[in-house]
Amino acid sequence: MFFSRTPPQDKVVALKVTVVAPDPALEKELKAAFAAGPRFSLDFIADTFERAEARVPAEGSAAFVVFLDTGSRNELLALQRFMARTGGRVPVIVVTEGFDEALARWFLQIRVTDFLRKPVEPAELARTCLKAVQAVQAAPAMETKEAEIYTFLPAAGGVGVTTLAVQTAFILQGEKGKSATCLVDLDFQNGACADHLDLEPRLALDEILPNPERLDQHLLDMMLSHHTSGLAVLAAPNRPAEMRSFHPAVVTRLLDLVAQRFDNVVIDLPRTWFPWTDDVLVGSDHFFIVTEMTVPGLRLARRLALAIRERLGDEATPKAIVNRYESRMFGTGLRKSDIEAALGTMLAGVVSNNYRLVREAIDRGVPLHEIKASNNVLADMRKILFAEPGEK
């Protein structure tokens, strides 16, 4: 998954940082930088990681720093083996000559804590190690559960994906013991989650894009908006005339922090496919494609689900929700049996059409149940969200 979700470790007694670098000249300046504060001592191994891997114990250090030659396949394989040995229990920071999107994504998949590009100032490296160790120590000792991730992707425009994502967040916030829930709007161009809830979007992308390493729990807190219900919302101001493109690591780091903080995370994805979309889908526990009750809508949902399965394999299992469903016993038009025949096992369920109720909730920025406690839209969504395996 794209989230680190590092299992908590016992309290670190000796804050030793093990650095593996092929340049012996680095040892003196790195030791000086790490010795400037009282928290760290440095164990320096002057060798390539390929040769040093077997000599680096997976335990006994508070963090590891690896200067990696990403042009060497053997170096990359050595790092992959080492990450498997650590099991994500200890922070690993990688320093490279450079990296592209594919390499950054691979680092995240093998659960590298952070990655920096050379040349890197020794003091910056020391600060990065300190933040990584503090994040591990700050994790509650008994915290073992992971956030439950619900992701909604539209099969076409105007199918009501944001409405379903917003109402799902309200359901999870209120019906799972008032658990901590965050609604994340990843449509940075035309997102509408904040507008649906009458909130000011506070995610300042311009502030974090130049320095994504600044992202931490404190900065996340500053960028969250809060609904009166207690629901947290992470959304950026719209820029309809601008197609924003940035490094996938920014999105994955952001979602990693959210997953560490909340019990439930609901993600509203844009229809446009970005370099980070794959990671979001693979990292989701529940992944829904939202479509509407039309022949083109059903076909689009099926094609999209099949394309995602072909692209991501068993790592992503999309289910389809048919929104604005209307039961028809007589006359022409689609019936429930037609929907089931078109989508088969991909069908998660249908959500009834209740346009007036939904429109009023959006205009007032409130949950549906505040307008009408018992309504068919929420009943349908609860059935989908809390269905037992095999149910539809």
d(CA 27, CA 42): 9
Closest by CA position to 85, among listed 64, 115, 114: 64
Kindly tell me if the per-residue pLDDT of 140 is higher than 90.
Answer: no
Of 83-87, 246-250, 283-287, 341-345, the least confident: 246-250
| pLDDT above 90 (res 379) | yes
Query: Which stretches of the chain are DSSP H helices?
Result: 26-35, 49-52, 73-86, 101-109, 122-138, 161-175, 193-196, 205-208, 217-223, 248-261, 277-282, 295-312, 336-343, 355-364, 368-371, 376-385
In the chain, DSSP finds a helix count (H) and a strand count (E) of: 16, 13
138 or 227, which is more confident?
227
Question: What is residue 110's predicted lDDT score, i.e. its pLDDT?
Answer: 82
Listed residue (326, 343, 353, 355) closest to 392, CA to CA:
343
User: Between residues 51 and 34, which one has the greater pLDDT?
Assistant: 51
Q: What is the CATH number of domain 148-385?
A: 3.40.50.300
Q: How far is CA 169 from CA 151, 271, 278, 352, in A?
A: 11, 20, 22, 18
156-196 tens-digit pLDDT: 999 999 999 999 999 998 865 456 899 999 999 889 999 99
Topology agreement, domain 16-138 and domain 148-385: yes
Note the pLDDT of residue 4: 45
pLDDT at 63 over 60: yes
Range with the largest mean pLDDT of 54-68, 203-217, 356-370: 356-370
- Which residue would you say has higher pLDDT here, 127 or 142? 127
User: Averaged over 372-379, what is the pLDDT?
Assistant: 93
| Predicted pLDDT of residue 298 | 96
Mutual orientation of helices 161-175 and 376-385 as an angle, nearest 10°? 70
| Residue 329: per-residue pLDDT | 63
Kindly report the pTM of this predicted structure: 0.66
Residue 19 to residues 64, 67, 120, Cα–Cα distance (Å): 6, 8, 14
Q: Give the strand order in the sheet containing 347-352.
A: 225-226, 232-234, 181-185, 264-268, 148-154, 286-292, 319-325, 347-352
Prior bond to 119 cis, omega within 30? yes
pLDDT score at 12: 38
- In angstroms, rounded to a whole number, what is the distance separating the alpha carbons of residues 96 and 90? 19
Count of Cβ atoms closer than 10 Å to residue 315 Cβ: 14
Q: Are 173 and 148 in contact (CB under 8 A)?
A: no
pLDDT at res. 34: 80
pLDDT at position 6 is 42
What share of the chain in percent tops pLDDT 70? Answer: 88
Going from N- to C-terminal start, the domains of the chain cover: 16-138, 148-385
User: What CATH number was assigned to the domain covering residues 16-138?
Assistant: 3.40.50.2300
pLDDT score recorded for residue 147: 86
